[in-house]
Structure 1
């Protein structure tokens, strides 16, 4: 059975996602008006002015949508990864030079744990940079293996997994060793290929 409306609203990030969806709808409407809206019956100068105004409104709604989705992504990430280092934030968030960036710095994460990464609730465009940042951090901090949880798509539209195949493609591009863990996760070997015993001794001597 489907979830009730009240239960969906209580899910992490649901409020921000709903606001972002509304901004997306308003952006679409503004674009429609700027391109082929009813204002075309107005004098040319007035129409041009109206089109520019609608275009500016569309950009504003797009920026607001992106900010709200970034807030949702952060809230969802913290919910499913409560022990993750606070500085390993979604890279899509750092690209937003706004008040939200300052607000994020106020959060204090629980003890660090890079052994797992849960991507439930993320959009594909959010999940990919999260995985990239996670694997880079694992390598920097000497984590040998990590579990990346993508989910099997049970809650995706049509029950088709979207994050899982994209993450697997990313792992292949990055050239890391990985193997499937059940239907919705990957074990990833974070070590570089040159991290054998000889390389370890060499780094220990020469840094």
Structure 2
């Protein structure tokens, strides 16, 4: 997998969020970019020192660059974990959905692979993957969607773009990605039609309010475990991969 560090645009949340929370996410990514710039500067000066015959200075600058690289990775890990928990918290996405807004491509690939593994282990037959339309990306180019589709192909899974172009439906059984009518969704409700989603067709019968509340309570522990499992399993592996990258495009 590539080490390209691009993500889905300035706004990284799929729901209404207070300014303090979004500022914290931006702060972490900005700190990572600052450390990346310092790392690049150290490595460039290290190269120049080596070419000038000053091996000791070259080694010192190289070590400084590596230290900045470790700080960059840590800030990106914190940002990835933070945004994943925010976007996938209980009640913000359905149990059959994962939201990858705010993730760098490398992070999103690893998270999706782990989420698919988790879904299969728990008998889930499909998954809705929110990838965004690229409305907030440079030239409105969807950088994440093609890579997520490649993950599905690598795993031998069929997929289809939903009516909301910022979502992908993935069949986890290996069969065709044919969505039943109730699986289609309208355009999201917020942020240029990119984030919230609502069912296009209502179920013929509505459950009583108490039954709905009981169902939500029962679903919460499992979904919380899922989010924590992905955070604890995926992000350390992402960092190990990034450590091997010689260049990171912010």
TM normalised by structure 1 equals 0.69
**Cα gap change, 1:161 to 1:11, in 2 (>3 Å):** farther
In the alignment, what sits opposite 1:23? 35
Higher relative helix content: 1
Extract unaligned runs of 5+ from structure 1.
84-109, 194-207
Asked whether the 8 Å contact 2:93–2:99 carries over to 1, the reply is no
Which aligned segments of 4 or more residues in structure 1 are displaced greater than 2 angstroms? 7-12, 37-40, 110-114
CA distance in 1, matches of 2:126, 2:150: 18
CA distance in 2, matches of 1:111, 1:125: 23
User: Residue 155 of structure 1 aligns to a residue in which SS?
Assistant: coil
CA distance in 1, matches of 2:126, 2:86: 22
The answer on 1:60 being equivalent to 2:64 is no
Aligned length: 158
Listed as ranges, the matches of 1:126-141 within 5 Å are 126-141=107-122
**Cα gap change, 1:111 to 1:19, in 2 (>3 Å):** closer
In the alignment, what sits opposite 1:147? 128
User: Residue 154 of structure 1 aligns to a residue in which SS?
Assistant: coil
Listed as ranges, the matches of 1:1-207 within 5 Å are 10-11=22-23, 13-36=25-48, 40=52, 44=53, 47-83=54-90, 114-181=95-162, 182-192=164-174
**Cα gap change, 1:12 to 1:146, in 2 (>3 Å):** farther
Find the structure with the greater CA-based Rg.
1
Shift of 1:39: 9.2
Asked whether the 8 Å contact 2:46–2:61 carries over to 1, the reply is yes
**Cα gap change, 1:9 to 1:139, in 2 (>3 Å):** closer
For CA contacts below 8 A with separation 6 or more, give which structure has more relative contact order: 2
TM normalised by structure 2 equals 0.58
Shift of 1:11: 4.2
CA distance in 1, matches of 2:125, 2:22: 36
Shift of 1:9: 8.3
CA distance in 1, matches of 2:44, 2:150: 35
Shift of 1:192: 4.8
Task: Provide, for residues 117-156 of structure 1, a one-character-per-residue CA deviation record: whole Å limited to 9, x for no partner.
Answer: 0011111011000110000000001111111010011122
